[in-house]
Structure 1
Amino acid sequence: MPDKKTPPLNTPLTTAVRIRAAVPNPAVPAETVRLNKRMAELGLCSRREADDWIARGWVRVNGAPAVMGQPVAYDARIQIDREAEQQQRQQVTILINKPVGYVSGQAEDGHEPAVALVQPQNRWSECNSRMRWGFEQLRGLAPAGRLDIDSIGLLVLTQDGRVARQLIGEDSEMEKEYLVRVSYGAENINVESVFPPDQLALLCHGLSLDGKALRSAQVSWQNPEQLRFVLREGKKRQIRRMCEQVGLFVTGLKRVRIGRVNLGHLPVGQWRYLAPHEGF
């Protein structure tokens, strides 16, 4: 019979807390990891969020109040108070079609950050979310991934550490799709017809940046002057630098998809909320 005070691991809780735990494996030596890292690995929150919850007394480990920096075993039972869940539900994720001339993160060199566009008047009229705009939604709203100042397209801004980890965490495998207009040699030529196939193959696999080999990519012709790139990483100005290595010059770059979320018909300079039923 299970202890009445300790809910079985597979039983959902409806009262005070949410529990995440791994089933112990006696064959595996007991190892420990910092509590905030373990909470992030379990998809409960980001490390920063975890530290905040621990400081507020919203986290328990094996029934005892958690402390900052605490090491825990991988099979530890981690309990999260409802207050943390309520706080998390209020966090927003916003999709914006970033225009040229805006930076993704902090303002730099006189250029405004994309978050400056997240104002009521720029909300897309076709955004069907029931979420109501409030200035508190700008607090902690940060880009989950970069988009160059001279590029346009889908940029994700989020308050939710789980979303950020999913998109830009060190173990992220999230696909990102781009449409890239290029030129090659003389102007007004059909680039696809003259660009060497072996160089296109190099774009797919075989290039390095900053001394490290790039992951394989999907690169194909969308039309005679435009390539379609699908990447699973995001080094600084990666596509432009890849193209330079094979003699191509990028004249326009637009991100149109991240995971399962498409830019769609979202107008340039406007934004919408990520709907609850959507997921990357």
Structure 2
Amino acid sequence: MFSYIFHMLERIQHLTGHLYQLLGPPGSQCLTCETRAVLSSHYPGICPRCVQQIPWIRSIRCHRCGRGVGCPDCVRVHMQNRSFVCNRSAVQYNDLMKDWISLYKFRGHERYASLLTALLIQAFQAMSDELTSICEKETRKPLWRPDAVTYVPVSVERLAERGFNQAERLATGLATAARLPCVDLLQRQINTGKQSFKSRAERFETMKHAFSIKPDGFDFSLLQNYNKPFKLLLIDDIYTTGSTLDACGHVILHAASNVSVSVEIYTLTLARS
């Protein structure tokens, strides 16, 4: 008797789902809010209502770190020697973005990969337009464009735990869309653990010796005849204090200076806290 009732319930659920497909609203299920709708053609997997909730950073208050609100960080004395020219970020790191990034980064929801990459690509386009405008005013050069893209590496332990490096995937997606080479340049020497629980001073101290150039990575001596600074775009998922990006940048600048090569580092992240 119990098995018969269970079987009937399964049949009813199946028929109900089939009727919803026939009579419900057109479209597909939204990746984030799970409602059924005609999904966005620009942002893969989400509905127009969720597109409206994306917390874009459209008005930049700090032109060095790309923050959309008042920034007390970049006026600090020790921040004047940062390795990168400027940072730009696609979105504010609010609760919604925390959910999206966490579902992809920690829970392996692969469908978020193309969505988050689309956000980064749009931020790259805005960054290119902004820096091109500055170049035209200051040097009369017509276009700002990086020569290559690279990314912040994760530790061997973190890579084994997640199965992928989210910064690498963002970088390769952007590089493909922008038709730029993506360089596997850095390695993480130590597992620094979660940075979200550390103070600003602890973050900078932890990152001092965290990275190095990969032994079989890019050979900077190939650029010795390059007649202008080599523009490198460094990608990460979240900018908090900038300590990770700064540490990576200093390693790159040091390696380039050892062979008398001039490099300019620009950074781009998915989210800015």
The two structures have a TM-score, normalised by structure 2, of 0.32
- Structure with more of its chain in strand, by fraction: 1
The two structures have a TM-score, normalised by structure 1, of 0.31
- Structure with more of its chain in helix, by fraction: 2
